[in-house]
Structure 1
Amino acid sequence: MDEEGIRKRSSNQEPDETPIKKSKSMNLQKEVGLLSGICVIVGTVIGSGIFVSPKSVLANVGAVGPCLVIWAACGVLATLGALCFAELGTMITKSGGEYPYLMEAFGPIPAYLFSWTSLIVIKPSSFAIICLSFAEYTAAPFYPGCDPPTVVIKCLATAALVTITLVNALSVKWASYVQNFFAAAKMEIQRTSTIRLMVPRFLNQLNYITEELKDPYRNLPLSIVIGIPLVTVCYVLINISYFTVMTSTELLQSPAVAVTFGDRVLYPASWIVPLFVAFSTIGAANGTCFTAGRLAYVAGREGHMLKVLSYISIKRLTPAPAIIFYGAVAIIYIIPGDINTLINYFSFAVWIFYGLTVLGLIVMRFTRKDLERPIRVPLIIPILVMLVSIVLVLAPIITAPELPYLYCVLFIISGLVFYVLFIHFKFSWAQKISKPITMHLQMLLEVVPPEDVPE
């Protein structure tokens, strides 16, 4: 469809309307099978943290044995939480992760606050963290004995982010192929620094793309049951390999544990370690972009964000506007931000909504008994996960209160202002602004609403 044709349609109807004649489906396609589902979990969870952060866990627990127990316990907790999301995902088969579950359990306001926080803080900051980690490891071999310049790190991270965004905007299959390749590369290495950061990486990835899963009732739980234990075993084995060649003191003194390990075991081929860490991080970034773009898509479809974010590319059948929006916000975080600050925002905010979502599962056991539940976990599991979430939200505030936590809470609450102005009351002046923006973006990106449209 050329630009002139789109313009003619737009001049005669609202941007989100479509003609009565229908001939082909313009919805997200079911392209993700069981193998790709497992690779999304493996590829998104394993980033750079496992290669550089074990010393933080060791510093907190003080001994090798408890350190390994912590990593294994995180895997168990993540598996329990993922089972809760498996029940939610097969009960409410909509993409968008926590968004549709919060909508069903508590109504539009909590769902909107989740989409608001995720689209502006949680998902872009996670994407930025991973791309910055990729850039640091990629640049390190070219600057032996010193830290790479900040400008180099920022440019490499931005280039990686833009590339991944384009791949995901152009083709679901391409994104799946990239994810499968890098997930396989990561597993060859096996022959986040704390529970608060690590466990969220395990949880809730495939639930963002439920509508694109082939046979979700089968593949969603199977991907979780296979993928998360696989990642847990991988994490524990990597830590064991570290402790095999390094003492606790040496590990704590190492600026990058994986690099030290490579120097001890693989020298003179130690350059392989930064290469595989780069594979790991780029795969995690691709998986994060793949899943998070669907959240913006669902929020736009529900009217909680610009409607154009729910539009589908005519040629590619991907949620291109949502993915591009997500990538643009992530770039804003890369330019002025640093990893530690981004981690503080990410981990605190994400546990608030994980706990709220699991609470929603408990609530719907009593308020929505009519919903079909192909998977039904024992009630004690969501109760346990919710209690852990509460502890992980309150613990940092009590033990080491910092202003970023206050800023994060204030930002979440500020979403209510936008909800009242743009969603609840729908002031006419706001619609006058959004309609021309939607129309021009529709023509520029060649996208249409997720409905049947003419060829």
Structure 2
Amino acid sequence: MNKENVIKRNSCQCSVFSSMASPSQQGGKEVKATVLQKDVGLFSGICLIVGTMIGSGIFISPKAVLAETGAVGPSLCVWVACGVLATLGALCYVELGTMITKSGGEYAYLLEGFGSIIAYLYSWTSIIVLRPSSFAIIALSFAEYAAAPFYPGCIPPVIVIKCLAAAVILIITLVNCISVKLASYVQNFFTGAKLFIICVIIIAGIALLAQGKTKNLTNTFGDGSTSFGNIGLAFYSGLWAYDGWNLPLAIIIGIPLVTICYLLVNIAYFTIMTPTELLQSPAVAVTFSDRVFYPVSWVVPLFVVFSTFGAANGSCFTGGRLTYVAGREGHMVKILSYISMKHFTPAPAVMFNGLLSILYIMPADIDILINYFSFAQWGFYGLTVLVLMVMRFTRKELNRPVKVPFVIALLVFVVSCYLVLAPIIQKPKLEYLYCILFILSGLILYVPFVHYKLRWARNIMRPITMHIQLLMEVVPPETKE
């Protein structure tokens, strides 16, 4: 079959490969349809939710929260306040989800409330900014804990951290390109490891408190900071650990449990480390382990590495699916909606997400990426809650099985505005400008490809799509998922 035939098939959403992979009889043998693997059962789905909510944040964020608040007391208050804010935000999402029953989460809510441009910019931002930066943050967290035991008493070199982070991104991307079932098994195992190590740290902290290790938990507000912008940055780091609160089951079983766990883990850290020691620690859980579990202190960093690896795998899995759906709906280039004909995974979307994540880890560190991520994320969280508020007046006829008090939505919206504006006012940084430019750059693709659907734009992409398709052996999905 020549290239002209491939291009012809490609223009009608078929291909040389799709004819080979269709569910027809070829040589007396039925060929499997080219649709995504769905080997994610109930248990694996729960592990994915837990792995999304409890990620690397509790092992990375305590130092950043303490640095911005300046004392133990305010830092613990920030952790509790983040849990309360996540709960209130989740309540707003429950009303939105029961009122707007279309699938798509924030995209569907923003589309219903503010139209296609804002909804598209959210989809674009999620794919270009939020998902890759989340993957990059978790990979850097993995690298810090994986390298820490080999550099006792000092901070590992930056080049080592970034090379390890890039390596784990490549490994996880490969796993998710090869098999959904393999990715699910990886997620299940590492979620178990994550819960185990959190329980170990909490139990050790309770035992230390029972032994009277409370020196660092007295006069906890002595040197606290009340700076307008610093508190906002502290919330960025704390809320990063709660990311995933907008999942459907989060409000029911997740957020209260996660809040208690995070608070107890932070208290455990302070039973054995002073605030200064915690800030100087290259990896907080490693320092805690060295002082509490010696000579088997290697157990904690090992399981933290397992935990961050599982969180990175969950981020890659969900990020790849989001990119795949965006390509299928025409919000990104079509090749991102294609499926591997060998493995039946969204390989182009997963690889695109992994590539962006590697690009993000090169110039930035964890704190910069968290600020970058949180700034964009909470801008759209605020807009999503604003949809709920506006529709209370413009769409009164909609059925609302769950209706939260208006003051809750207003409070979440005001806090979202504060979280977006306060850090910029207090400490203007280039990453905020870069983030805004990245978000608005989506309009460059939206106008020709989505709004006008210009033929010349499609003609430019068609040969590129064809060559990538031939190289990667991917095909369009036969049915919409």
TM-score range, shorter chain: 0.7 to 0.9
User: Equivalent residue for 1:238?
Assistant: 265
Q: CA 1:339–1:232 in structure 2 vs 1: closer, same or farther (change >3 Å)?
A: same
Aligned to 1:259: 286
Question: Are 1:390 and 2:425 matched, yes or no?
Answer: no
For 1:53, what is the secondary structure of its paired residue?
A: helix
Partner of residue 202, structure 1: 242
1:217-268 deviation line (CA, Å, top 9, x unaligned)? xxx33x5421333322221111121122234444344343222211110111
Q: Post-superposition shift, 1:269?
A: 1.4
Give the match for residue 142 of structure 2. Answer: 134
Amino acid at match of 2:55: G
Whether 2:52 is the aligned partner of 1:41: answer no
Measure how far apart 1:346 and its partner are: 1.5
Aligned position for 1:176 = 184
Match of 1:14 among 7, 11, 23: 11
Q: Does 1:271 align with 2:311?
A: no
- Pair 231,384 (structure 1): closer, same or farther in 2 beyond 3 Å: same
| Residues 171 and 15 of structure 1, relative CA distance in 2, 3 Å threshold | farther
- After TM superposition, the structure 1 stretch with the greater mean CA deviation from structure 2, 386-395 or 172-181, is 172-181
Deviation of 1:428 after TM superposition, in Å, equals: 3.0
**Residue 361 to residue 98, structure 1, CA distance change in 2 (3 Å):** same
SS in 2 for 1:438: helix
**TM value normalised by structure 1:** 0.84
Residues 6 and 466 of structure 2 are in contact (CA less than 8 Å); yes or no, is this contact kept in structure 1?
no
Distance 1:61 1:239 in 2: 14
Q: CA deviation at 1:354?
A: 1.3
Mark the CA change 1:200 to 1:246 in structure 2 (over 3 Å): closer, same or farther. Answer: closer
Q: Structure 1 vs Structure 2: percent identity of aligned residues?
A: 65
C-alpha contact 1:52 1:257 (8 A) present in aligned 2? yes
Which residue of the partner structure matches residue 221 of structure 2? none
The residue matched to 1:190 in structure 2 has which SS?
Answer: helix
Distance 1:10 1:53 in 2: 50
Q: CA deviation at 1:53?
A: 3.4
Deviation for aligned residue 1:288: 1.1
Residue segments in structure 1 that go unaligned for 5+ positions in a row: 208-219
Cα displacement (A) at 1:393: 0.6
Query: Out of 229, 233, 237, which is 2:256 matched to?
Result: 229
CA deviation digits over 1:384-418, x for unaligned, max 9?
A: 22221111011112222223322322332232233
Q: 1:236-315 alignment to 2 at 5 Å?
A: 236-315=263-342
Deviations 1:182-221 (A, max 9, x none): 11111112239832233245344775xxxxxxxxxxxx33
Q: Deviations over 1:71-117 (max 9, x none)?
A: 12211211222333344455556665422332232222112212222
Aligned to 1:327: 354
What residue is the counterpart of 1:156 in the other structure? 164
Change (3 A) 1:196 1:145: closer
Q: CA RMSD in A?
A: 3.2
Looking at structure 2, the residues matched to 83 and 203 of structure 1 have their Cα atoms a distance apart, in angstroms, of: 15
Q: Secondary structure at the match of 1:239?
A: helix
In structure 2, distance between residues paired with 1:205 and 1:186? 18
- Relative contact order (C-alpha < 8 Å, sep 6+): which is higher? 1
- Pair 1:329–1:15, CA change in 2 (3 A): farther
Are residue 67 (structure 1) and residue 93 (structure 2) matched? no
Q: Distance in 1 between matches of 2:373 and 2:334?
A: 26
Q: State the 1:60 CA deviation.
A: 4.0
In structure 2, C-alpha distance between the alignment counterparts of 1:249 and 1:151, rounded to whole Å? 26
**AA matched with 2:330:** G
Q: Kindly tell me: are residues 336 and 391 of structure 1, through their superposed partners in 2, closer, same or farther at Cα, counting changes over 3 Å?
A: closer
Aligned partners of 1:41 and 1:206 also within 8 Å: no
Preserved CA contact (<8 Å) 2:7 2:463: no
Aligned mates of 1:49, 1:349 — CA distance in 2: 18
How far apart, CA to CA, are the structure 2 residues paired with 1:99 and 1:358? 12
Does residue 411 (structure 1) correspond to residue 438 (structure 2)? The answer is yes
Tell me, yes or no, if the aligned pair for 1:355 and 1:390 is still in contact at 8 Å: yes
In structure 2, C-alpha distance between the alignment counterparts of 1:413 and 1:241, rounded to whole Å: 43
Residue of structure 2 in register with 1:125 after alignment:
133
Q: Is the 8 A contact 1:352 1:393 kept in 2?
A: yes
Partner of residue 78, structure 1: 86
Aligned residues: 437
1:109 pairs with 2:117: yes
Query: 3-state SS of the aligned residue for 1:194?
Result: helix
- Structure 1 residue aligned with 2:466: 439
State the TM-score, normalized to the length of structure 2: 0.80
Query: Which deviates more, 360-369 or 389-398?
Result: 360-369
Q: Once the 2 structures are TM-superposed, how far is the Cα of residue 331 of structure 1 from its aligned partner? A: 1.4
